[in-house]
Amino acid sequence: MRIGHGYDAHRFGSGHHIVLGGVSIPHDRGLVAHSDGDVLIHALCDALLGAAGLGDIGRHFPDADPAFKGIDSRILLRRVVQELQQLGFRPGNVDATVIAQQPRLGNHIETMQIRLADDLGIDSSQVNIKATTTERMGFTGRGEGIAAHAVVLIHA
């Protein structure tokens, strides 16, 4: 068994929705990113790659590569899972936290868990997602952006 941790953050910019955990959530702003800006999936990819000793998401999907411009982060997650499988690893469970003052995420968490579990090839009961605020402290509390942490267990 191996454990990995991932973190990602993106700032708000123009737009009318954000994408978290593969779910499009209506919002008065979007997230500034090379891909779709899904901080939850980016943190999850980093955690999986880290657990396998494979570096980080930027090494595998560089933001300077036009092939990844605007890409659906679920595609990146599936590629990471395939890479782990080639090395004989499979995901065990995920525990993740999204840090955002806005939008409210409670109504979207179950859908996120189902989509991520599908991409990971595990049961949705093995994916736990939490949402929290920072009580208006820091960049997320001031509404400047969103962040996410993910911890994963992988096994052979």
Task: Tell me the CATH number at 69.
Answer: 3.30.1330.50
The predicted pLDDT at position 95 comes to 98
Q: Which amino acid is at 82?
A: Q
Pairing of strands 127-132, 90-99: parallel
Per residue in 17-70, pLDDT (tens digit) is 999 999 999 999 999 999 999 999 999 999 999 999 999 999 999 988 999 999
Sheet containing strand 145-155, edge to edge, reads 30-31, 2-13, 145-155, 90-99, 127-132
Cα distance between residue 25 and residue 108, in whole Å? 8
The count of structural domains within the chain is: 1
The single residue listed with the structure tokens 């911890």 is 151
- Please tell me the predicted confidence (pLDDT) of residue 122: 98
* Tokens at 68, concatenated: 């990844």
pLDDT at 78: 98
CA atoms within 13 A on the CB side of 135: 0
The kind and range of the H/E element at 86 are helix 73-86
| Measured distance between the N- and C-terminal CA atoms of the chain, rounded to whole angstroms | 7
Residue 23's pLDDT is 98
pTM higher than 0.95, yes or no? yes
**Domain of residue 115, residue span:** 2-155
Closest by Cα among 33, 69, 26 to 148: 33
Instruction: Kindly report, residue by residue over 101-153, the tens digit of the pLDDT.
Output: 999 999 999 999 999 999 999 999 999 999 999 999 999 999 999 999 999 99
Question: How far apart are the C-alpha atoms of 77 and 45, rounded to whole Å?
Answer: 6
